[in-house]
């Protein structure tokens, strides 16, 4: 049965991690995969997470099954974290949250749910978008179309082109938006653009689908969710996929949430029953540990404060590195967009050949698209990274 199968290429992001590991140079720098790193280049367990794990170890009483929706407390607290505790949709009981295996699990189950709502649904995604969006959504059988998002010459949002394109979408089409910290470009919508896109979605009867995987790593927990929150104040139905991988550093614990905002509480119950049925037929129920940690943190004031402090420090470090890199590159060209962008990623805007030189000659690893993980640098490695980039673009 297996003999006719061809070997497929690896995920290019995860493949690059392996090439990096095998590079013997001691001064190599990994700007590839999107994991947060500290000044020492490590991705440590956050102290609030360690403390919550310790408490769990002492208080957890069972490992019995958790059920397809996951933990009720986690779901309630995640709804509040993303939407803000006072959000009208929460008060009107129009929000239903389920715990998922990471943001990826949320994205995929959202796609399966959409397929049940509308078997011929079309999802519009930004060009470019996170490469995994395509298999996660397309794999559920949704039709994927693209809207232009990034102007490749200025590396900023081409909002006019985005709006012009989405004017062609039909009622009932789904629009995937990055809640903040656009992956791969770092170019986000500003407040006016969020309002304008909300107007367009409302006028055309589209369904907004928000992927928010970096809340707290752009400018702060509330600021990063502002666009989503305001959109969800105006529209009757919204789907939100949220991830705890980056902001809690729980990557391998596979912790995320899927939120359905429905027009009425009654419709929300029916929609959630469909979603839970889809979950049962895919993985039955989510893993527990990561969500139990998040619930413990969000529900314990001193852990919450500790976590917010750590997250704010990560966020500030990224902003400082952004400012430092764009300044260090100023003699080589206009890289000021790096300072204006948010989150872990920006494109350098160099060619695949230049990316190859940076990797082979300088041991500086980034995706072929020139996407860099800003948090992959430290104040020690940044000058060398900047020097190498300046050298390569100056040739
Ligand atoms: N969405 C985006 C844009 C991402 O970059 C990621 C990954 O890091 C995710 C979703 C989901 O990640 P995870 O499944 O690890 O929570
Ligand atoms: O874009 C990134 O680097 C992160 C991490 O299959 C990631 O989102 C990369 C590939 C993948 C899962 C997560």
pLDDT tens-digit profile, the chain (395 residues): 999 999 998 888 888 999 999 999 999 999 999 999 999 999 999 999 999 999 999 999 999 999 999 999 999 999 999 999 999 999 999 999 999 999 999 999 999 999 999 999 999 999 999 999 999 999 999 999 999 999 999 999 999 999 999 999 999 999 999 999 999 999 999 999 999 999 999 999 999 999 999 999 999 999 999 999 999 999 999 999 999 999 999 999 999 999 999 999 999 999 999 999 999 999 999 999 999 999 999 999 999 999 999 999 999 999 999 999 999 999 999 999 999 999 999 999 999 999 999 999 999 999 999 999 999 999 999 999 999 999 999 99
- The C-alpha atoms of residue 99 and residue 286 are separated, in whole angstroms, by 7
Does the annotation mark 246 as catalytic?
Answer: yes
| Model pTM score | 0.97
Integer Cα distance of 218 and 54 in angstroms: 29
Architecture of domain 65-299: 3-Layer(aba) Sandwich (3.40)
Token pair of 333, please? 């060209």
Distance from Cα 33 to the centre of ligand 2, integer Å: 6
Ligand 1 centroid – CA 243 distance (Å): 6
Q: Which of these is catalytic: 52, 89, 111, 130?
A: 130
Centre of ligand 2 to C-alpha 267, Å, is 34
Reading the block at residue 124, the tokens are 């519009």
> Which tokens hold the place of 245?
């991988």
- Determine which one of 169, 213, 232, 324 is catalytic: 213
> Ligand nearest 367 Cα, by number?
2
As assigned by CATH, the class of the 12-44+317-393 domain is alpha beta
Tell me if 393 sits within 8 A of 354, measured CB to CB. Answer: yes
Cβ–Cβ under 8 Å, residues 293 and 49: yes
In angstroms, the first-to-last Cα distance of the chain is 52
How would you classify the pairing of strands 256-261 and 238-243? antiparallel
Q: Which ligand is nearest to the CA of 107?
A: 1
Q: How does DSSP classify residue 206?
A: -
Ligand 2 surroundings by CB, under 6 angstroms: 11, 13-14, 33-34, 130, 132, 183
Instruction: Judge if the beta carbon of residue 253 lies within 6 A of ligand 1.
Output: no
**What's the CA-to-centroid distance between 394 and ligand 1, angstroms?**
35
Q: Give the per-residue pLDDT at 227.
A: 98
User: Could you give the CA distance from residue 17 to residue 319 in angstroms, rounded to a whole number?
Assistant: 24
Cβ(104) – ligand 1 distance below 6 Å: yes
Closest ligand 2 atom to 130 CA? 1
Q: Please give the Cα distance from 312 to 7 (Å, whole number).
A: 43
Burial of 97 (0-12, 13-18, 19+ CB in 10 A): buried
Q: Does the annotation mark 164 as catalytic? A: no
Structural domain boundaries of the chain?
A: 12-44+317-393, 65-299
For β-strands 143-148 and 150-151, DSSP reports them as unpaired
| d(CA 333, ligand 1 centre) in Å | 31
| ∠ CA 97-137-177, rounded to 5° | 65
Answer yes or no: same fold for 12-44+317-393 and 65-299: no
Estimate the crossing angle of helix 226-234 against helix 72-83, to 10 degrees. 100
243 within ligand 1 shell (Cβ under 6 A): yes
Q: Is 126 in the pocket of ligand 1 (CB under 6 A)?
A: no
CA–CA separation, 275 vs 269, rounded Å? 10
- Rounded-to-integer distance, Cα 257 and Cα 153, Å: 35
Between CA 232 and CA 292 the distance in angstroms is 27
Ligand that comes closest to the CA of residue 209? 1
Question: Judging by DSSP bridges, how do beta strands 122-127 and 143-148 pair with one another?
Answer: parallel
Q: Which DSSP helix (H) or strand (E) runs through 124? A: strand 122-127
Task: List strand residue ranges (DSSP E) for the chain, in order.
Answer: 29-30, 95-100, 122-127, 143-148, 150-151, 156-157, 174-178, 207-212, 238-243, 256-261, 345-347, 364-365, 371-373
DSSP-derived letter for residue 345 is E
Catalytic pick from 246, 257, 278, 324? 246
ipTM passes above 0.90: yes
- Expressed in angstroms and rounded, the spacing between residue 239 Cα and the centre of ligand 2 is 21
């Amino acid at each position: 049965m297996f003999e006719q199968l061809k070997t497929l290429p690896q995920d290019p992001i995860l493949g690059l991690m392996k090439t990096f590991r095998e590079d013997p140079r001691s001064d190599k720098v990994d700007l590839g995969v999107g994991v947060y790193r500290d000044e020492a280049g490590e991705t440590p367990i956050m102290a609030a997470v360690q403390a919550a794990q310790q408490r769990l170890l002492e208080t957890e009483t069972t490992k019995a099954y958790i059920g397809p929706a996951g933990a009720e407390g986690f779901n309630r607290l995640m709804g509040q974290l993303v939407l803000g505790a006072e959000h009208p949709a929460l008060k009107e009981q129009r929000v239903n949250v389920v715990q998922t295996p990471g943001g990826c699990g949320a994205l995929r189950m959202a796609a399966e749910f959409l397929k049940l709502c509308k078997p011929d649904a079309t999802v519009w995604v930004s060009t470019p978008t996170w490469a995994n969006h395509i298999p996660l959504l397309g794999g559920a059988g949704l039709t994927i179309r693209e809207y232009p998002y990034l102007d490749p010459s200025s590396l900023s949002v081409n909002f006019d082109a985005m709006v012009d394109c989405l004017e062609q979408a039909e009622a009932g089409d789904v629009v995937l938006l990055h809640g903040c910290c656009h992956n791969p470009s770092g170019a986000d919508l500003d407040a006016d653009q969020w309002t304008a896109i909300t107007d367009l979605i409302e006028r055309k009867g589209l369904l907004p689908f928000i992927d928010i995987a970096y809340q707290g790593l752009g400018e702060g927990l509330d600021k990063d969710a502002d666009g989503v929150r305001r959109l969800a104040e105006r529209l009757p139905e919204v789907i939100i996929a949220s991830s705890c991988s980056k902001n809690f550093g729980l990557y391998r614990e596979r912790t995320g949430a899927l939120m359905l905002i429905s027009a009425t509480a009654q419709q929300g119950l029916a929609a959630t029953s469909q979603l839970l049925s889809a979950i049962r037929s895919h993985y039955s129920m989510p893993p527990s540990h990561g969500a139990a940690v998040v619930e413990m943190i969000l529900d314990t004031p001193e852990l919450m404060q500790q976590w917010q402090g750590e997250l704010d420090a990560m966020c500030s470090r990224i902003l400082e590195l952004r400012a430092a890199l764009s300044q260090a590159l100023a003699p080589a060209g206009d890289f000021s967009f790096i300072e204006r962008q948010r989150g872990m990623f920006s494109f350098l805007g160099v060619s695949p050949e230049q990316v190859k030189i940076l990797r082979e000659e300088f041991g500086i690893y980034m995706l072929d698209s020139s996407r860099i993980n800003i948090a992959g640098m430290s104040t020690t490695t940044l000058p060398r990274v900047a020097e190498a980039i300046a050298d390569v673009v100056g040739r």
